[in-house]
Amino acid sequence: MDEKEQLHAMRHSLAHILASAVQNLWPDAKFGVGPVVENGFYYDIDIGEYKISEDDFEKIETEMRSIVSKDQPFVRSIKQIDEAINWAQEGKQPYKEELLNDLKRAGTTVAKDLNPEELGTIAGDDSVTSEVSFYTNGNFVDLCRGPHLESTGKTGAFKLMRVAGAYWRGKDTNPQMQRIYGLAFASEKELRTHLNMLEEAKKRDHRKLGAELDLFTFSDLVGSGLPLYTPRGTYIRDGLIKFSEAVREQIGFERVWSPHITKKDLYEVSGHWEKFGSELFLVTSQETDDKLVMKPMNCPHHSQIYSSRPRSYRDLPIKYMETTTNYRDEKSGELHGLSRVRSLSQDDSHTYCREDQVDEIFDQLIERIREFYSAINMSLRLRLSLRDESDAYLGPQELWDFGQNKLAEIAGRNNLEYYQETGEAAFYGPKLDFMATDAIGRVWQVATVQFDFVQPERFGLEYTDEKGEKKRPIMIHCAIMGSFDRFFSVFIEHTAGRFPVWLAPEQIRLITVNQESATIEFADKIVDEARKLGLRVKVDNDNESVGKKIRDAEVWKVPYTVVIGEKEIESSEVIPRIRKDMEVQPSGPIAISNFLQSIANEVGSRVTKSSL
């Protein structure tokens, strides 16, 4: 076993140790599955009325440690399938029994979405399992493919983290079990490193920083999942949106506008009504019987703009973009800060083109997306999101084949690390998803470029080719931030609220040493000059100590802080205090107008590090 397999086996073994501990403590416990997940493991457990809480963790961990110290060997054994089913029945393990029955019928337990009838029909004779393997440690026996450690004593560092409800086999009509999550690493040190990362993530939580830095808020009267952006948050919002639009203007995108409500007919034609109807907000006219919906996306509108006039092959590609708010009735339990909201603003764009233009369009978009993410210091990887074999996808197979091959080709030549994942395509086409890594190593899905093989057909979009024949254009969706709101949550956590100067809501803070009129007048003069350069500047003239006001500017993460007193008034020079993450420290006094001009230049070029 190499190191990776060893770690996997160790985490899996800990899942068994967790289950044995639970069995020792609650002998009636019924077990589901206990797989390895990123950084650890979990086990799904049903112990009837009693609900395990985090208060029980100490007790469970103690029991786990006792099992570890007993150094019980993991012993593999083979049972005939019927013998195994018998074992599950006698041991009152209904979940295991269900898994074993699936194994017997279909030779797999992974076909979790299939109901028993379907499962029966796909099972060929070859796949029927006649034998299954078990692992035993101490008095705990579990159906398991393995591999495991030699014995319980070989485990590394672990910690139980949380308990959560989880549907048996992920289906919301099934009973809900309790899932106990644990972290596990080869060494105490690695575990601690990971816990520190989680600690750091907690400090950067956008919901916490959003309130502390006065960026956005929620109101019970407005409703859950409906964020309100404050002036400070809106500076950043506007700055990012402007940038996202600017990078696409460079490659010929033009802004369009569409209303926020529409007849539901639009989505019946597009196919969204059938697929997402239950998540649409409905609006009714009080005068007529018109049934309207709040728009959940913009592509059908843009397609209507496309089809508003006849198009020639010479007009293509046609490129529309619109940054606008969409409304989706997300289930209450799915809402989460800004990452999942009911009113989300997309920096959306749609290209209608000929087949021979596809390569150039993708290459350009990828280049612009890279420009955007390099400006905010995030590295990108590409995910090729392809369809799987389910029937969740619409559109002709030939187009899917063309699109999936094309995307693989494009991904291969764009100097970005990429990988592919099936089952991640949109229902209307395959996509390139951009995965950004943040400052503490977490990966987020951000930008996306997607083929659409459904809407051109459904809306009957056409252009006239050089022979005078009608043809279908190819439609390509692209969003650079995706949902602005979700992107903002990532960006806040990536920067920990230390926004680059070009986005900082407050770029310069002037701190007065005293409240004499000469000082105030001097500060006001600097404010005027800074505003003429388009800079965002504030004066802190509170009757507090300079130390206190410096601290306050630090807490608000203001990039440049300047103390104004007699010395500055006399010399017209300042010694700016530069926020620590900006690396470059001031070399000494600088004439005020030079100082302001250099910041204006910095803002203009969107640099992320101070150039002073």
Partner RNA sequence: GCCACCUUAGCUCAGCUGGUUAGAGCAUCAGUUUUGUAAACUGAGGGUCGUCGGUUCGAAUCCGACAGGUGGCUCCA
Q: Is 328 a binder of RNA (CB under 7 A)?
A: yes
Q: Is 443 a binder of RNA (CB under 7 A)?
A: no
Residues 371-410: x/- map of binding to RNA (CB under 7 A)? ----------------------------------------
Rounded to whole angstroms, the Cα distance separating 349 from 497 reads 28
Cα angle, residue 253 at apex, residues 250 and 259 outer, rounded to 5°: 140
Nearer to RNA, 248 or 477 (CB): 477
End-to-end CA distance of the chain: 53
Q: Is 517 a binder of RNA (CB under 7 A)?
A: no
The piece of 28-36, 72-80, 216-224, 251-259 that touches RNA (CB under 7 A) is: 216-224
Q: Is 103 a binder of RNA (CB under 7 A)?
A: no
Catalytic residue list contains 144: no
Q: Is 561 a binder of RNA (CB under 7 A)?
A: yes
Phi, psi dihedral angles at 69 (to 5 degrees): -70, -20
Q: Is 211 a binder of RNA (CB under 7 A)?
A: yes
Catalytic residue list contains 194: no
Q: Is 543 a binder of RNA (CB under 7 A)?
A: yes
Q: Is 271 a binder of RNA (CB under 7 A)?
A: no
The piece of 2-10, 69-77, 539-547, 604-612 that touches RNA (CB under 7 A) is: 539-547
Among candidate residues 541, 552, 551, 553, the one with its CA nearest the CA of residue 513: 541
Catalytic residue list contains 328: yes
Q: Is 280 a binder of RNA (CB under 7 A)?
A: yes
Orientation of helix 81-90 relative to helix 94-106, angle to 10°: 160
Nearer to RNA, 337 or 505 (CB): 337
Q: Is 196 a binder of RNA (CB under 7 A)?
A: no
Alpha-carbon dihedral of residues 148, 150, 153, 156, nearest 10 degrees? -50
Beta-carbon neighbour count of residue 3 at 10 Å?
Answer: 8
Asked whether the beta carbons of 24 and 63 are under 8 A apart, the reply is yes
Among the listed residues 350, 370, 538, 579, the single catalytic one is 350
Residue owning tokens 């389910």:
390
Burial of 8 (0-12, 13-18, 19+ CB in 10 A): middle
**Pairing, β 418-422 against β 379-386:** parallel
Q: Is 538 a binder of RNA (CB under 7 A)?
A: no
Q: Is 232 a binder of RNA (CB under 7 A)?
A: no
Q: Is 584 a binder of RNA (CB under 7 A)?
A: no
β-strand partners of 353 = 474
Beta strands in 453-597 (DSSP E): 463-464, 470-471, 474-483, 508-512, 537-540, 560-564, 573-574, 577-578, 590-591
Nearer to RNA, 166 or 375 (CB): 166
Nearer to RNA, 274 or 356 (CB): 274
Among candidate residues 224, 209, 487, the one with its CA nearest the CA of residue 339: 487
Nearer to RNA, 375 or 501 (CB): 501
Rounded to whole angstroms, the Cα distance separating 157 from 154 reads 10
Phi, psi dihedral angles at 461 (to 5 degrees): -70, 140
Rounded to whole angstroms, the Cα distance separating 147 from 15 reads 12
Helix (H) or strand (E) segment spanning residue 238: helix 231-249
Helix, strand or coil, per DSSP, at residue 449: strand
Look at phi and psi of residue 219 and say left if phi exceeds 0, alpha if psi is from -120 to 50, else beta. beta
Judged by CB under 7 A, which of 331, 470, 531, 609 binds RNA?
331
Judged by CB under 7 A, which of 514, 593, 605, 611 binds RNA?
514
Shortest distance in whole angstroms from residue 276 CB to RNA: 3
| Token couple for 254 | 């033009």
The piece of 61-69, 230-238, 326-334, 403-411 that touches RNA (CB under 7 A) is: 326-334
Among candidate residues 462, 456, 464, the one with its CA nearest the CA of residue 300: 456
Residue owning tokens 């007699």:
566
Catalytic residue list contains 391: no
Among the listed residues 44, 102, 347, 348, the single catalytic one is 348
Q: Is 297 a binder of RNA (CB under 7 A)?
A: yes
Catalytic residue list contains 299: yes
Catalytic residue list contains 206: no
Q: Is 580 a binder of RNA (CB under 7 A)?
A: yes
The piece of 10-18, 139-147, 242-250, 295-303 that touches RNA (CB under 7 A) is: 295-303
Phi, psi dihedral angles at 349 (to 5 degrees): -150, 155
Shortest distance in whole angstroms from residue 339 CB to RNA: 9
Rounded to whole angstroms, the Cα distance separating 302 from 270 reads 12
Q: Is 333 a binder of RNA (CB under 7 A)?
A: yes
Shortest distance in whole angstroms from residue 333 CB to RNA: 2
Size of the site for RNA (CB under 7 A): 66
Residues with Cβ < 8 Å from 278, sequence gap 6 or more?
329
Q: Is 233 a binder of RNA (CB under 7 A)?
A: no
Catalytic residue list contains 264: no
Q: Is 332 a binder of RNA (CB under 7 A)?
A: yes
Judged by CB under 7 A, which of 35, 120, 153, 223 binds RNA?
223
Cite the active site residues: 299, 328, 346, 348, 350, 431, 477
Residue ranges in contact with RNA by CB under 7 A: 51, 53, 162-167, 170-172, 176, 178-179, 207, 211, 218, 220, 223-225, 272, 276, 279-280, 296-297, 299, 328, 330-337, 340, 426-427, 450, 477, 513-516, 543-548, 550-551, 554-555, 561, 563-568, 575, 577, 580
